[in-house]
Structures are given as structure tokens and as C-alpha cells.
Amino acid sequence: MLEQAIAPPAAQVPIQPLTMNADAIKPAGDAGLLGTVRFGALEYLNGYAAVFIVAFLVTLLSTPFVRKLAIEMEIVDKPNEARKQHKYPIAYLGGFAVFLGVMASIAYSYAILEGPGGSLGPVPISIVIGIVAITFTGLADDAWGWDPRLKIAGQLVAAAALAVQDIGTRVAEGVLTPLLGDPQTVLLALGPLVLHSNDVFYWSGTAIIAIFVLGGCNAMNLIDGLDGLCSGTAAIMATALLCIALLMAAGTEISDPFESLAGVRIVLCLSLLGAVLGFLPWNFNPAIIFLGDCGSLLIGYLVVVSILLLGEQGDTHLVFAGLIIFALPIMDTALAILRRKIAGVPMSTADANHIHHIVKRATGGVKRAVVVLYAISIAFGVLGVVLGALAIEQIVRLRILYSVSVVLFGAIGAIALKVALRNRWSTQAAAGVAPVPSPVPNADSAPATPSKPI
């Protein structure tokens, strides 16, 4: 009786689930010993805030030194083409300053061992390798003018690094699971050769990674045509992706820090946001340094990886939300591909009819055009975050999000085709040739070279 009075039997002691808040933060190691850990979105943001600060300060302070180095090495962009907006040579290599800020912030994130940041796993080494590979590819092109095939090879190396650690390969699961069933389902058995659904998932996901990396990197490269446009829109996209990443992390119970990529999404978004904001004061009109391919390819890579990570658990609906956030570069790329295809010119042909060129002519100035494109990017970002949040909270069914995505990108494709056709007809009219339905004007009735840019 005395023992029972002192302490009730262990079976009568209710076991309460462990919950965490800002006033009771435990080291990361406690999660595995005491149970699952859950933090709120603001707690994660506060826990990782120093990542943003490091990226911002390193980029802000290193940019003048990188600019000086570029000038000494004569890596400058000379306005030797009519489509270029600047009137005097501008230093390249701004992307290397962004790279320094991103790498410094990722390195700092490894040192976060306590609190919300310490409860999540670190950035995988494959992503770091990809960042280095894509940066070197762009840097080599800025410095030595690499062959386009070498640039593509460098981007594929960065994509392959992701596939090695299955970063993004699960994106295909959400689409293929309803068709192929469980990943262990046997699709083909020929003697020792056994093909499971999981094999199809992996190789389909690998192909998706390559498409995303190539498309995203080059799409960001295409919109880098006005002072501050690429870095500013990247900041908007990073902010929107960060919102979705925080909402996903807030709804995750962490039992094994190394099994979750929730912290990786937050670190990458904050690193990119801090780095581009640190670079933007030097790059906004009138710019004294440009990103170059080094910067635009790196920014595209980081955005693409962040979007792929939204599908970590096969949540392809969240990947679609990320693509909506990325809609401005997608729209510009679609316009460029269709415009050049219909005009019958090589895809590598430069022109002055990108979205930023069109908006600049319509608004009459670089700053006004950039602000307009910022507003468009913000609109896409808000739409992507709202749809992503509604999907995370299961307020809307996933088919609704897919429907919105199909309508949006279908409209973008239709607008791209319309603009491309109008450009071709305008060119034919200026050349005194009646419009014809064929993609390439007849050689007997039109000059081989268009009279003005397509």
C-alpha cells in the first residue's frame, strides 16, 4: 500500500505525445529519444533566419570584389548588339558572388544543431555537387565562351548528381502510381530480368530531373535581359516557394531528422532569397554588374531543385504549384521556342522579342518594364502559394489544382503560338509577301533572310 501511495503503477501513467513550441525547444537528438517533434512555420523561419542573413551579407559584400576581378580579367559584356539595353561595358561574374553567398549559407546550415533547424536533416551532398557543377558551367561560358553542347553537358552533370541520391526522382510516383500500382508490382519477368514499377518510377523521375534542370536553367537565362529582372524575379519565386516549404514543414512530425527533406527546402529557399537580395542593389538599373550565365544558370538550378523537392513524397500537385510560381520564365521560353520554330530559324538564334523586350517597348523604360514583370511574377507566386496551401490543408481536391495548372499553361501555350504567328505575318507583310500557312515562307516568294528580327 505504501508503494502504491508513493507512485502509481507504470501502466496507469498516461503517455502524452511530445509537442514543441518556441518556449520548449529541444536539441535535435532528443527527437529520436523522446518521440516525434513538430514545430510551427514561424518557428522554422526563426530557426533558419541566420541562413538568410549569411547569404545576404556574403553576397552583398563580395559583389564589389567580384566586379573588380571581372574587370581585371576583362570579362565584361560589351553592347555590340542592337538588342542589348546597356550603353557601356558592364562586368560579368555577378553569379559568382551569388554562388559564394549560397555556399556560405548552406555551410552555416550544417552548424545548426539545436532548435527547429536542428530537428531537420542537412542539405544532401548531391545538391551541393550540382550547385558547384552548374556554377562552373556558367562561369566557363562567361570566361571562355563554351560551346552550347558543353553547357548542356555541364547541366546534365548537375542533374545526374540529384538522381544519385534520389532528389526529385519520386516526382513521377504521383502520376504513375495510379497507372502502374504499387512500386513493387512486377511488370515484366524474363528469366533473371525482373522489372518492377519502382524501376519505371526511378527512370521516369530521372528523366523528369533532366528536363527540369535543362528547362529551368535555360529559362532563367532567357529572362536575364534587363537590369535586376532575373535576380528580382528569383527573389519573388524564392519567397513563394519558401511559403510552401514552411507550410509543409509545419505539418510534418519529425521522428528521424535525416529522413525528412523539409529543412533542405527551407535552407535552399532562404539561401537563394538572401543571395539574390544581396546582389540586387548592385544589379538593379542602372546596373554595374551582371549575373552572367554563371548566375542565371545557378538561380534556375536552385529554383528547379526547390520545386522538385516539393514532390519528395510523390506530391506532384505541389510540384504543379511550384511550376505556377515559375510561370514567367516558362511563358518566355514557350514564346521563344514557338517564335523561332515558326520563323524557321535555329533555336539558338538571338532576337529582341522576349517578354522583357516587349514590355520595355510598351512601357518606354527599363525600370518600368522590370516593375511590371515583378508584378506579374508576384501574381503567379501568390496563385501558386494559395493553391499549394489549399492542397496541403486538403481544402481543395487535387484535381482542382491540376485543372488550374492545365488551364494556365494551356493559355500560356496558346498565347505563345498567337504571338509567334502574328510576328511571322508582320514580317511577311513588311517584306511584301502575303501570309502563308506553312512554317517557312516559300523560297520563290520571300527573301531567305527576314527583313527584321523575328
DSSP 396: S
Q: What is the pLDDT, as a whole number, of residue 84?
A: 56
Distance CA 25, CA 22 (A): 6
Q: What angle do CA 333, 349, 307 make, to 5 degrees?
A: 25
**Residue 345 backbone phi and psi in degrees, to 5:** -115, 160
Judged on CB neighbours under 10 Å (0-12, 13-18, 19+), 309 is buried
Assess whether the previous peptide bond of 286 is cis (omega < 30° from 0): yes
- Strand-strand pairing, 90-91 and 186-190: unpaired
SS3 state of residue 92 = coil
**3-class secondary-structure state, position 254:** strand
Residue 136 makes CB contacts below 8 A (sequence gap 6+) with 154
Q: Which residues, listed in sequence order, are joined to residue 76 by a DSSP beta bridge? A: 91
Which helix H or strand E contains 388, and what residues bound it?
A: helix 366-392
pLDDT band at 415, cuts 50/70/90?
Answer: confident
The model's confidence at residue 138, banded by pLDDT at 50, 70 and 90, is very high
AA identity, residue 311: G
> Higher model confidence: residue 380 or residue 254?
380
Q: How confident is the model at residue 444 (pLDDT cuts 50, 70, 90)?
A: very low
**Poorest-confidence range of 38-47, 155-164, 234-243, 397-406?**
397-406
Choice between 256 and 303, residue whose per-residue pLDDT is larger: 303
Cβ neighbour number for residue 356 with a 10 Å cutoff: 24
Which amino acid type is present at position 267? Answer: V
Compute the average pLDDT of residues 236-241. 96
Q: How confident is the model at residue 238 (pLDDT cuts 50, 70, 90)?
A: very high
pLDDT (mean) for 430-446: 50
Cβ neighbours of 419 (radius 10 Å): 18
**What would the DSSP string read from start to end of 165-197?**
TTSSGGGGHHHHHHHH-STT-EEEEETTEEEEH
Domain boundaries, the chain: 37-314
Q: Average pLDDT of the chain?
A: 78
Any idea which of 17-21, 273-277, 368-372 has the lowest mean pLDDT? 17-21
User: pLDDT by residue (tens digit) across 374-395?
Assistant: 999 998 999 899 888 888 877 6
Reported as a single tens digit per residue, the pLDDT across 177-236 is: 655 555 556 554 545 555 555 667 777 778 888 999 999 999 999 898 888 999 999 999
Q: What is the pLDDT of residues 306-364, one digit of tens each?
A: 999 988 776 778 888 899 999 999 988 888 887 777 767 676 677 677 788 788 888 88
What is d(CA 14, CA 16) in angstroms, rounded to the nearest whole number? 6
Q: Count the Cβ atoms, other than its own, within 10 Å of residue 114.
A: 14
Q: Where are the beta strands (DSSP E) in 192-337?
A: 193-196
**Cα separation, 82 vs 86, whole angstroms:** 10
Q: Percent of the chain, pLDDT > 90? A: 34
Q: What is the signed CA dihedral for 258, 303, 235, 53, rounded to 10 degrees?
A: 30
Listing DSSP states for 206-237 in one string gives HHHHHHHHHHHHHHHHHHTTSTTHHHHHHHHH
**Which residue did the predictor score with more confidence, 141 or 235?**
235
